[in-house]
Amino acid sequence: MPRLSLSSRLALLFAACTAVVSLFAGVLFSRASEAHFVELDQQLLEGKLIGLRRALHDTQSRESEIRLADELSRQADLSLRITGSDGRRWYDSSANLPDLLAQQPGLSTVNDDGTDYRVLNAPLFEDKPDSPQLTLLLDITHHQHFLQRMQHLIWLTVGLSALATALLGAWAARSGLRPLRRMSAIASGVSVHSLNARLPEASMPPELAEMAHSFNAMLGRLDDSFQRLSAFSADIAHELRTPLSNLLTHTQVTLTRPRPLEDYREALHSNLEELQWMAQLVNDMLYLAKADHGLLMPTREPLDLGQEVDVLLEFFAPLAEDARVILSREGTASIEGDRNMLRRALSNLLDNALRFTPAEGEVRVRISQQPKVLGLVVENTGEGIAAELLPRLFDRFYRADPARQEGSSEHVGLGLAITQSIIRAHGGQIRCESGDGWTRFLIELPKRV
C-alpha cells in the first residue's frame, strides 16, 4: 500500500472533521425545524378543535352544519372526520380522506397515497366517556417537501464543505510544510562538495528548529571528519613526496657516472634511511586505518598499570638520563587491557614528553583510582603548548613545531594519533592541558574494556 503524503493525510483529516461537524449541525437543524413544524401544527389543530367543538355543540341543528362548513372553509388544508362512539364513520369533510386512522387521542403523522397529514384525535365532548370522536387532519405535504429539500441541502453542504476543506487543507498543509520541503531540498543537495550547506535555523518554525539544529550539527560533524580525512590524504601524499623525491634524485645522480665503491654504498645507505622512514609511515597509517575501521581489538588481560609504567620508565631511562630529565611514577591501579597496545600508547606519550622537556626537567606519570574509571596523567615540565594548538595535537601528521620538515624529520608524526586510537579502542579518552609550567596528557580508562 503506497503511503499517503503528509499533506494528503492532513487534507483528508480536515475534510473528515468538517464533514462530521457539518453533518452534526445539519441533523440538529433538521430535527429542530421538524419539531418546530410539529409544534406549529399542534397549536393550529388545537385552536381549530375549540372552534369545531363550539360549532358542533348541538349536532342535531341545521345551524351547526352551516357553522361547521364555515369553520372548515377558513382553513383549506384542514379536513374533519367525525366518528361515532360505536366506531361508525359519521362524517368526512372531504371525499378522499384515508380510511384507517389511529384512534388513540393526541397528535400523530400519517402518510396516505403521497399526502402527509398531521392528525389530531379528540373526543367531541370532553366530559362524556362515550362521546363521538373528532379527527382533525391537516395536510402538511408542503411542509414535508420543504423539510426534504432542506435535508438535501444539508447533504450537499456537508459534501461541498468537506471537499472545500480538503482542498483548502491540502493547500494549507503544503504551505505549512514548506520548511520541511526546504529542509529536504537542502538535505538532498548535500554531497562531499557542499558539506558546508546549513539550514536557516532562525527562520524555521519552533517545531522544526530543533531538528534543523540537529541536522546542522550532523552536517558540521561530517564536514569536520571529511576535512580531516581529505587533509589526511593530502598529508600522506605530501609526506611521501619528499622521501620519494630524495630517492629518485639521489639514485639518478648516483647512476649518471661511474663512482668509487664508497659512493654507491653511501647512496644505498641514504636510500635505506628514506625507505625505512617510509615503511614506518606506511605501517603507522595501516595501524590507524585499522583503528578507523574498528579492527583494533584489544585483548583483555589483567594488568598492573603501575608495573607496566615502571617497565616503560626503565625502557626510557637511558634517554632520560642522557637528557638529564627525572622520570617518576605515582600511584598504581589494576586494569583489563591489551599489554602491547597500552605500552605502545604510553611509550608514544613518554617519548613525546621527553622530547619536549628541557634539561633538568621532570616527566611524571600519575595513576589515580576514580569511582568508575582510572586516571592516568603523563606530564612534563617545560614550555607549554598554546591553547589554540591543543585540540590539534592528536591530528595526524600534526607537529607542534612550526618549523616542521616533512619527510626529513626523524619522527613520522602519527604517534599521538596512534595513542588516541589505542585509548579509544579501550573505551577511554585522552586530552591535553598545558599551563603553569607543565604539559599534561590526561587519560581516562574504564576499568574493564
Sites of contact with other proteins (CB under 8 A)? 269, 272-273, 276, 279-280, 282-284, 286-287, 290, 295, 297, 311, 314-319, 321-322, 340-341, 343-344, 347-348, 351, 410-412, 415
Q: CB of 339: closest distance to other proteins in angstroms? A: 9
Cell 583503528 found at:
291
What are the backbone angles phi and psi of residue 379, rounded to the nearest 5°? -130, 145
Q: Which C-beta is closer to other proteins: that of 81 or that of 396?
A: 396
- Under a CB-based contact definition with an 8 Å cutoff, are residues 425 and 291 in contact? yes
Return the C-alpha cell found at 45.
389543530
Q: CB of 324: closest distance to other proteins in angstroms? A: 13
Q: Which C-beta is closer to other proteins: that of 170 or that of 418?
A: 418
Return the C-alpha cell found at 27.
441533523
Q: Which C-beta is closer to other proteins: that of 55 or that of 353?
A: 353
Q: CB of 395: closest distance to other proteins in angstroms? A: 18
Q: Which C-beta is closer to other proteins: that of 132 or that of 415?
A: 415
Q: CB of 319: closest distance to other proteins in angstroms? A: 5
Q: What is the 3-state secondary structure (H, E, C) of the chain?
A: CCCCCHHHHHHHHHHHHHHHHHHHHHHHHHHHHHHHHHHHHHHHHHHHHHHHHHHCCCCCCHHHHHHHHHHHHCCCCEEEEEECCCCCEEEECCCCCCCCCCCCCEEEEEEECCEEEEEEEEECCCCCCCCCEEEEEEECHHHHHHHHHHHHHHHHHHHHHHHHHHHHHHHHHHHHCHHHHHHHHHHHCCCHHHCCCCCCCCCCCHHHHHHHHHHHHHHHHHHHHHHHHHHHHHHHHHHHHHHHHHHHHHHHHHHCCCCCHHHHHHHHHHHHHHHHHHHHHHHHHHHHHHHHCCCCCCCCEEEEHHHHHHHHHHHHHHHHHHHCCEEEEECCCEEEECHHHHHHHHHHHHHHHHHHCCCCCEEEEEEEECCCEEEEEEEEECCCCCHHHHHHCCCCCCCCCCCCCCCCCCCCCCHHHHHHHHHHHCCCEEEEEEECCEEEEEEEEECCC
Q: How many CB atoms lie within 10 A of CB 173?
A: 19
Q: CB of 418: closest distance to other proteins in angstroms? A: 9
Q: CB of 439: closest distance to other proteins in angstroms? A: 18
- Under a CB-based contact definition with an 8 Å cutoff, are residues 215 and 187 in contact? yes
The count of residues in the chain is: 449
User: Which of 239, 214, 220, 165 lies closest to 396, judged by CA?
Assistant: 239
Largest CA distance in the chain: 166
Q: CB of 394: closest distance to other proteins in angstroms? A: 17
Q: Which C-beta is closer to other proteins: that of 276 or that of 334?
A: 276
Q: CB of 341: closest distance to other proteins in angstroms? A: 8
Q: Which C-beta is closer to other proteins: that of 204 or that of 335?
A: 335
User: Which of 98, 103, 68 lies closest to 87, judged by CA?
Assistant: 103
Q: Which C-beta is closer to other proteins: that of 10 or that of 341?
A: 341
Q: CB of 235: closest distance to other proteins in angstroms? A: 17
Q: CB of 411: closest distance to other proteins in angstroms? A: 5
Q: Which C-beta is closer to other proteins: that of 388 or that of 410?
A: 410
Q: CB of 272: closest distance to other proteins in angstroms? A: 4
Nearby residues of 287 by Cβ (< 8 Å), 6 or more positions away: 296, 418, 421
Q: CB of 295: closest distance to other proteins in angstroms? A: 7
Q: Which C-beta is closer to other proteins: that of 83 or that of 419?
A: 419
Q: Which C-beta is closer to other proteins: that of 39 or that of 321?
A: 321
Q: Which C-beta is closer to other proteins: that of 40 or that of 297?
A: 297
Q: Which C-beta is closer to other proteins: that of 174 or that of 343?
A: 343
